[in-house]
């Protein structure tokens, strides 16, 4: 590795989400690639993305990716399912750096793991309306029967910390019973927040395998860094974890911190609006 490549490989992995939920992806990446620096940017000023149009989500994603690359990110992980579903192609057309979303790794795992080919997908309204998971699963397994359900009430419940609560169980039963009736054996948790509800979801759909996009994204990132020879050259170090938000932190940051055991120190405040794209 020449000096320029080695210094690039020491750059952080830039991760972004519409808010705090993408910390589930950051936590999975830290567990797998503990020697890599991470710069996480949560767009808390403009969250939620889940009900916004493609044009808006693309614009936000371009602004944030430009900022992360200007900060020296060697690769970008779009932790937000909504942004992955709606803006990944746009980002790849504008930037040269490797850009990874959460949809393809999650779809890949679901297509591989399902035995009966009946796969459920849950996510925000925008993610489900985009059909991105369905397309990605069918690409790998054309005969798969994919049933998708938007679950707009789950993000607010999770942000309120109601992870083990009868109200959450009722809402889950309402959203998930149609999927059980379809005979799914695999369910994709297609939203950053849902891994925090894994226990309650598993209770509601006994016997169904849950596919956590966060875990699978971390695996795919490890493979991508290896393939591009972009791994941090020092395997023994502990990576820095830097968090920036576009609005002052909210209560959900502490919910996520507690449940994900992440070392979130000082949180920077960054303005992302109008950041200019760089290649
Ligand atoms: N991060 C979003 C996702 O994974 C959920 C929150 C939002 O709607 O912005 O789809």
Give 217-260 pLDDT, tens digit per residue: 999 999 999 999 999 999 999 999 999 999 986 677 877 888 88
**Same domain flag for 15 and 40:** yes
User: What's the rounded mean pLDDT across residues 43-52?
Assistant: 94
Cα of 1 vs centre of ligand 1, distance in Å, is: 38
- 4: pLDDT confidence band, cut at 50, 70 and 90? low
Give yes or no: residues 71 and 147 share one domain. Answer: no
Global pTM reads 0.94
Q: How far is CA 19 from CA 104, 126, 259, in A?
A: 21, 16, 16
Q: Are residues 152 and 81 located together in one domain of the fold?
A: no
- CB of 84 closer than 6 angstroms to any ligand 1 atom: no
Q: What is the pLDDT of residue 258?
A: 80
Note whether 96 and 222 are same-domain residues. yes
The rounded distance, in Å, linking the Cα atoms of 50 and 241 is 26
pLDDT at residue 249, rounded to an integer? 66
Mean pLDDT score of the chain: 93
pLDDT for the residue numbered 6: 65
Distance 53 CA to ligand 1 centre (A): 13
Other CB atoms within 10 Å distance of the CB of residue 140: 13
Q: Is residue 277 part of a domain?
A: no
| Mean pLDDT on 193-217 | 95
Query: Which residue has the CA at smallest separation from atom 6 of ligand 1?
Result: 48
Same domain for 208 and 226, yes or no, is: no
Question: What is the pLDDT at residue 251?
Answer: 77
Q: Yes or no: say if 77 and 65 are a contact pair by the CB < 8 Å rule.
A: no
Interval between CA 116 and ligand 1 midpoint (Å):
29
Share of the chain above pLDDT 90, in %: 84
In a domain, residue 274? The reply is: no
Shared-domain flag, residues 237 and 166: no
Residue scoring higher pLDDT (277 or 4) = 4
For residue 275, being part of any structural domain is answered with no
Options 151, 191, 204, 217, the catalytic residue: 191
- pLDDT of res. 125: 96
How far away, in angstroms, is 15 Cα from ligand 1 center?
14
- Whether 21 is in the pocket of ligand 1, judged by its Cβ within 6 Å, is yes
Q: How would you classify residue 165: left for phi > 0, otherwise alpha for psi between -120 and 50, otherwise beta?
A: beta
Q: Where a domain ends, among 165, 187, 213? A: 213
User: Does a structural domain hold residue 33?
Assistant: yes
The model's pLDDT over 126-176, given as tens digits with 9 standing for 90+, comes to 999 999 999 999 999 999 999 999 999 999 999 888 999 999 999 999 999
- Can you give the CATH number for the domain in which 19 is found? 3.40.50.1860
User: Which among 165, 189, 213 is the end of a domain?
Assistant: 213
- Last residue of one domain, picked from the residues 175, 190, 213: 213
pLDDT top residue among 275 and 227? 227
**Peptide bond connecting 244 to the previous residue in cis, omega within 30 degrees of 0:** no
Q: Which residue, by CA, sits nearest to atom 7 of ligand 1?
A: 48
Does 117 share its domain with 95?
A: no
Residue 75 has pLDDT above 90, yes or no: yes
Mean pLDDT confidence for 10-15: 96
- Cβ(17) – ligand 1 distance below 6 Å: yes
Most confident listed range (18-22, 126-130, 265-269): 126-130
Q: Are residues 167 and 190 in the same domain?
A: yes
Owning domain of residue 48: 3-101+216-269
Better-scored residue on pLDDT, 81 or 2: 81
Residue 193 lies in a domain: yes
Q: CA 114 to CA 137: how far, in whole Å? A: 11
187 and 136 in one domain? yes
Burial class (CB in 10 A: 0-12, 13-18, 19+), 276: exposed
The pLDDT confidence band at residue 279, using thresholds 50, 70 and 90, is: very low
Ligand 1 atom having least distance to the Cα of 50: 8
Query: Is 204 an active-site residue?
Result: no
Ligand 1 centroid to residue 47 C-alpha, Å: 8
Number of structural domains (the chain) is: 2
Percent share of the chain, pLDDT over 70 = 95
The pick from 41, 47, 86 for probing ligand 1's pocket by mutation, whose C-beta has the most ligand atoms within 8 angstroms, reads: 47
Does residue 130's CB lie within 6 angstroms of at least one atom of ligand 1? no
Determine whether the shortest distance from the Cβ of 132 to ligand 1 is under 6 A.
no
Q: How many CB atoms lie within 10 A of CB 264?
A: 18
Of the two residues 270 and 256, the one the predictor is more confident about is 270
Assess whether 108 and 169 both reside in one domain: yes
Task: Verify that 119 and 172 share a domain, yes or no.
Answer: yes
Cβ proximity of 160 and 115 under 8 Å: no
191 noted as active-site residue: yes
Per-residue pLDDT, averaged over 85-111, amounts to 97
Residue 99 — pLDDT band, cuts 50, 70, 90? very high
Residues 131 and 147 in one domain: yes
Q: Which pLDDT score is estimated for 97?
A: 95
- Of 214, 127, 196, which Cα lies nearest the Cα of 155? 196
Structure tokens given for 192: 């950053």
Q: Answer with the residue of higher pLDDT: 266 or 71.
A: 71
Is 157 within a domain?
Answer: yes
Question: Is beta strand 38-42 parallel, antiparallel or unpaired with respect to 241-245?
Answer: parallel
The reply to whether ligand 1 has any atom less than 6 angstroms from the CB of 82 is yes
């Amino acid at each position: 590795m020449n000096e320029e490549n080695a210094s690039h490989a020491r750059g952080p992995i830039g991760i972004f989400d519409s808010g705090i939920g993408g910390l589930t992806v950051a936590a999975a990446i830290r567990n797998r690639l503990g020697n890599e620096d991470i710069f996480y940017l949560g767009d808390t000023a403009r969250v939620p993305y889940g009900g916004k149009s493609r044009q808006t989500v693309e614009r936000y994603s371009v602004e944030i990716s430009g900022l992360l690359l200007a900060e020296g990110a060697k690769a970008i992980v779009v932790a937000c399912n909504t942004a992955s579903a709606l803006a990944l192609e746009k980002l790849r057309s504008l930037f040269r750096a490797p850009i990874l979303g959460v949809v393809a790794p999650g779809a890949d795992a679901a297509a591989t793991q399902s035995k009966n080919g009946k796969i459920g997908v849950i996510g925000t309204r925008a993610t489900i309306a985009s059909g991105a998971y369905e397309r990605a699963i069918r690409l790998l397994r054309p005969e798969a029967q994919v049933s998708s359900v938007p679950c707009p009430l789950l993000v607010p419940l999770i942000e309120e910390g109601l992870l083990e609560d009868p109200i959450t169980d009722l809402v889950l039963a309402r959203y998930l019973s149609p999927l059980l009736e379809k005979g799914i054996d695999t369910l994709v948790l297609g939203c950053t927040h849902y891994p925090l509800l894994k226990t309650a979801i598993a209770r509601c759909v006994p016997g169904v395998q849950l596919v956590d996009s966060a875990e699978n994204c971390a695996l795919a990132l490890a493979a991508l860094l290896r393939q591009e020879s972009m791994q941090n050259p020092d395997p023994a170090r502990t990576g820095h974890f830097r968090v920036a938000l576009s609005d002052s932190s909210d209560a959900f940051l502490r919910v996520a911190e507690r449940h994900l055991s992440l070392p979130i120190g000082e949180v920077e405040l960054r303005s992302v609006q109008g950041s200019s794209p760089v290649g």
